[in-house]
A and B are shown apart, each in its own frame.
Chain A
């Protein structure tokens, strides 16, 4: 009866070993061999930087606000250019900024605190502030103080009024600045400078970036009816802001081609999606009657001439023009062209805006030429064109228009600047859709958010004028303007 024993003992052994020894075995088995649970903070920061650049440059920029500020126009897929932006095109801005950029800053801050890396924590705070600023400028009231905290139980974050967001961003910037220790730089050992895609670990520059960002926020508050002129002038007078183009915040795509290039380069299936807008071309042409020779030579960077050497823009909202309108500039959208989080010329334009005079104006314009790789001398002939010569009689308009030109490729900030100043005055796209016949003034809230965070979103919507989640509603800082502000 050997067989019988084998069966009985075997059976018993099987039961005992497998049922009662499985706890540790099961616990170990259920640890993922595929992904880490923790990583050093700088790896998260680098993802936050790259995602922010991608989203602002491409998703919120080229395929959305670049069209609305009439830097470019669509040829085939007209939805955004006709002010009927597609849901998915709007949604991705919100979702990638929150779930990637913003959340990675939250996680990086946690990791930096745990690993005692105050500089990394500071970068996380400044980046988070930068992302929050862009979100509120695009949508209006948005979650900030409770955002990105699902792991702490905040599944449905409250929407902060825009002014609260702006103040909270200032607080984070100040906290970040106070944590910065330029002496140690981007902390050593595991914190390789490689991961700081903006400054390679130069904390001195991070400090200047954080302070320069405060200029944008104070300007916005001014536009919203507060008076922050003293704060702005105090910053402009000091040396804590960008002092030269070496300080400006930009991400340089080297091995990774910039996303705009990838989208529209001559071998992409999207290459014919966009052409340059006639609004921009006609403005930059100045008084020049020869459409091969614009008064403003930056146009040759922003746009490619047609085969006959002419620069021809297309009207926003009108489809077609693939072969008759100028391409967006191949120099500008070169694979390695950087994306500016904030440029030195913008700081100079803010200076000119606050203290309008010829010197400040020309300094800002000149810096924009330099930024585009043009010699400072090229600016002379442009300024000689009476359209562009400084004139105190219409300096507000001129400076704002020039700022708009200088922000080519930074559609979101150009859109912000237009809503603050009302210049340039745009003719709305033809056959325009749901923006009530005017240029849109914001983008809609994320579709999922409407379903999943309804109550808070409803409160957030109250911050809009009128209180309706549509692209024609005006956000807090824009609320004092008439709804045709900036329209012709």
Chain B
């Protein structure tokens, strides 16, 4: 396109404005074509302008039209938009209700496309636009607050961090509770795993998807919806359909190029508050005494920060003063940048779409980054009159650099910054001199030379890198035998290789076995293949009955392979090659394979488009179960009744549907759970690990898990009822669902007494029930004559999960541990925290010993349940002509969170709470107790004996976890976005068919939270199903960004 044309276009527009500045008034009345009632609130727009109005309460509009040959576009929810020539002064319009609106189709299980109104179960669709506006690294996070019943917990504000995802609660004790992810009909892997304890968070594989490729995401919320996926969809399914190039809109509908560019700036949302009166050391340490004793402490119980002279860790003369901003200074401004280009072309025989995208993220932690590059090709083609094909191939390269470690581990630089630090330490000095080695020890200089690494040493020298190459491919053929019978074959695979590399430079302090350098090099390869073959018959009789029958076959295979190399000690510094290992490398490998073969059938009956019944059945054979229990069958039944069809005279009711469903699903287990094996002995842990082989003898031990040759499949029974109601010309929509799901015979690794010789066994036990309510309310609150529209969407999900049975003779099973323990307890909801506690007298008083110290309870105490009561999202969209403004508030009520960050901050005297330090010490509130009988009994005398401040806070935090267990309720301003679509009149004359500009903010404001210092939403547990732990996570970020989308 020539530059002259642009200039001409601009001039033409200006001229238009000047010449046709005058116009005429057109008025009219708009009525429903069926009922003949006048319709208020109908939008009337002069096509090609931003000039719009709405009908008043009598259905009358009045609008100024400039120029000749104009058309009026009449639109309203629930009606077919129509255009009329603006060639008369009075135009009365008979507005036709949109019945096709209700013909909306959605993609359901095993890729079957269904009319939404016929479904007997709850599903919720999110359009691609919703995940493309305000950007997130992962599509998953964009769904937060938008889907009733979907619970997403992000793990940290670190680059590329993972999220924990559940739909309608957890149905399994310790297995995968994530819903099944299906992309274009192919189930994909979304099981994130950490290579090593505490090692960097690898992110969810689903984040490999390019958000710009997404056409829609359909969430099948429960087993009824997902029954045809069988074993794998007990937790519901998230069905992603990518754009194909079909159905292009706009003026270049045969060939369209779309380019999207977005940038955002990310800043730390919330930081802890620190005390600034006392420096590093224990009570009594004097930093100026020349001994350097204070440096042996990694706590801040030391001398008052009074400005005295001292020699710091680098041997530099310094002033003993507070550095109030040392932690704040550590965090940088991060950014994210997205480029997405797609080319699509379509005609009546098919379509092609090619897309490319880049995503680059720089984290708020120094030298951390995450990059993602995707390329995709989708071809959709009618090969012959009867044979059609769809082929898709997608490649993603995702690379993380220095993803920080998770939780309480020295991989995680925040372990020391938040939990263990000196308030006098100058962060800039640490940064400037991170590479200096202390000649006396050969280790780098650090404010504490014993337990911690300089965070900049960790981030600049102990670099980790990960890379995932992933190819997702699908091929589908459809052959139509005649107008009622067709066959479909779809094959696809999700294949990826992943490498993670973590180096430790010579001079590292912690881990001690890496002091002379070393590395981990882990490689993983995973392949998931899926083949579906099905015959579909579809017949209508006498225009009243419709019958659909599907018979299908499914083959599923997943293979996993990993090899891990660990080298401790390098022959040549900075040469991280296994050939130059100073000691024998430790190499381990693991592989597994699993197959499931399934046969399934569906019968769908419809009567007069208002009564529907679905019966599905499936039988699976899984390789992981013993041959006698390998085959399992499960049916599902669901139906819907569109009662509004029978009461058309009730005008207030636009649409009404009742639905109900019942499903049984089964689930298998992981490979190799049937017989016990021997394993290589692993004795000890850092810093004391016994070499194996030991002086030439390989140490072999019986595995700690006793396997079970009699495992049966898990079985889930689920029931749901719901209603989909729309009122007042669909201005109000209410969708409500109640569900009740019970899973029994859960395959559970249960702890058994160690004295039995094993620490756990795998059994069929356990029963868990989840019941809940999901409500979606859509309200078109305001529609004015001036084109102002306000839509409110509210979604609410309340799930009550109850552990009905754990296992015979057991009342709880272990789930996760990060100082506190997470258990599943019979009779409770999912996830009960246990941890250190102190004795009390039962009347609300703690007990102390004669010296004023709290007394440790030998038994772990219950700290609370981590499951939230409900989650609610409130979405507001305000449109005024071409401007869209929206905001989303996300509210989670209830649940407990154990904040390790807060705990260690108190323990080590860093938190602002510990600033008050009387010379005499502090007094534990409580009653003095006596132990002469062997039991601690209160003497009834209140304790008045003070104990040293550091013991007071140490016992209060570490001995009594309950002081740092908080209500996890939060209300957050999740998102604000403002978009502007350039007027069609402008675009029409330009080479573009659409230009959108948007600015947005994500995670802007914690409106309400009871957890001090940290974001209650951040959950640092690095294992699946573990929640309720907050542990030194990289703080979540507030992002502010802008997007520009151009369609050529």
Contacts and interface: CB of A to CB of B under 8 A. Distances in A.
Interface of A: 3-4, 7, 10-11, 14-15, 18-19, 22-23, 25-27, 29-39, 43-44, 46-47, 50-51, 54, 58, 76, 84, 87, 94-96, 98-100, 102-104, 106-107, 142-143, 147-151, 154-157, 192, 194-195, 197, 252-257, 259-260, 262-263, 267-272, 319-320, 322-323, 431, 433-434, 436-437, 444, 446-453, 466, 468-470, 472-473
A437 B752 CA distance: 34
Output the residue of B679, B695, B811, B959 with the most chain A CB within 10 A. B695
20 contacts: A3-B386, A3-B387, A7-B489, A25-B595, A26-B627, A30-B674, A46-B698, A98-B757, A99-B759, A103-B758, A148-B757, A150-B706, A157-B753, A197-B697, A259-B684, A259-B690, A270-B512, A447-B859, A452-B753, A472-B931
Contacts of A19: 597, 599, 621
Contacts of B676: 37, 151
Interface string B668-700: 000110111111010110011111101111111
A436 B509 contact: no
Nearest to B481: A4
B1007 interface: no
B812 interface: yes
A281 B656 CA distance: 88
Contact of A269 (B510, B702, B754): B510
Nearest to B695: A254
Contacts of A7: 479, 487, 489
Given A30-B671, A58-B688, A255 B678 contact: no
Output the residue of B284, B691, B933 with the most chain A CB within 10 A. B691
A195 B756 contact: no
Contacts of A22: 595, 597, 621, 623
B415 interface: no
B599 A269 contact: no
Contacts of A271: 450
B934 A466 contact: yes
B858 interface: yes
B512 A268 contact: yes
A35 B677 contact: yes
Given A156-B809, A267-B515, 14 more contacts: A3-B387, A3-B479, A15-B599, A33-B591, A35-B677, A39-B700, A43-B699, A44-B702, A46-B694, A100-B681, A154-B756, A269-B450, A320-B284, A323-B291
Contacts of B524: none
Interface residues of B, number: 99
Nearest to A55: B683
Contacts of A156: 752-753, 756, 809
B701 interface: yes
B849 interface: yes
A54 B757 contact: no
Contact of B934 (A260, A269, A320, A472): A472
B291 A36 contact: no
A104 B761 contact: no
Interface in B724-779: 751-759, 761
Contacts of B932: 436
B553 interface: yes
Contacts of A436: 931-932, 934
A38 B678 contact: yes
A437 B849 CA distance: 10
Nearest to A103: B757
B935 interface: yes
B752 A155 contact: yes
Interface in B590-608: 590-595, 597, 599
A49 to B, nearest CB: 9
A33 B593 CA distance: 10
B684 A58 contact: yes
B332 interface: no
B296 A95 contact: no
B934 A11 contact: no
Nearest to A465: B934
B647 interface: no
A34 B695 contact: no
Contacts of B855: 433-434
A323 B293 contact: yes
Nearest to A87: B860
B688 A30 contact: no
A470 B695 contact: no
Nearest to A101: B701
A31 B677 CA distance: 10
A31 to B, nearest CB: 8
A450 B861 CA distance: 13
B630 interface: yes
Interface string B584-628: 000001111111010100000000000000000000011110010
A199 to B, nearest CB: 13
Contact of B699 (A4, A46, A142, A267): A46
A436 B592 CA distance: 54
Given A27-B627, A269-B451, A142 B755 contact: yes
Contacts of B702: 44, 99, 103-104, 106-107
A23 B627 contact: yes
Contacts of B441: 267
B810 interface: yes
A256 B291 contact: no
B700 A157 contact: no
B953 interface: no
Nearest to A41: B700
B349 to A, nearest CB: 18
B853 A98 contact: no
A358 B931 CA distance: 43
A322 B671 CA distance: 51
Nearest to A104: B701
B98 to A, nearest CB: 39
A227 to B, nearest CB: 29
A62 to B, nearest CB: 9
B803 to A, nearest CB: 15
B386 to A, nearest CB: 8
A248 B761 CA distance: 38
Interface string B769-812: 00000000000000000000000000000000000000001111
Given A26-B621, A270-B687, A94 B677 contact: no
A323 B297 CA distance: 12
Given A29-B594, A38-B678, A51 B683 contact: yes
Output the residue of B594, B689, B934 with the most chain A CB within 10 A. B934
A472 B855 CA distance: 14
B694 A197 contact: yes
Given A44-B678, A436-B931, A468-B935, A194 B697 contact: yes
A269 to B, nearest CB: 5
Given A11-B533, A32-B677, A34-B672, A269 B687 contact: yes
A106 B757 contact: yes
Given A43-B699, A155-B756, A14 B533 contact: yes
B935 A44 contact: no
> Closest 5 interchain pairs by CB?
A256-B691, A148-B757, A103-B757, A35-B677, A150-B756
A54 B481 contact: no
A446 B487 CA distance: 61
Contacts of A466: 933-934
A33 B443 CA distance: 42
Contacts of A448: 751, 753-754, 759, 814
A354 to B, nearest CB: 33
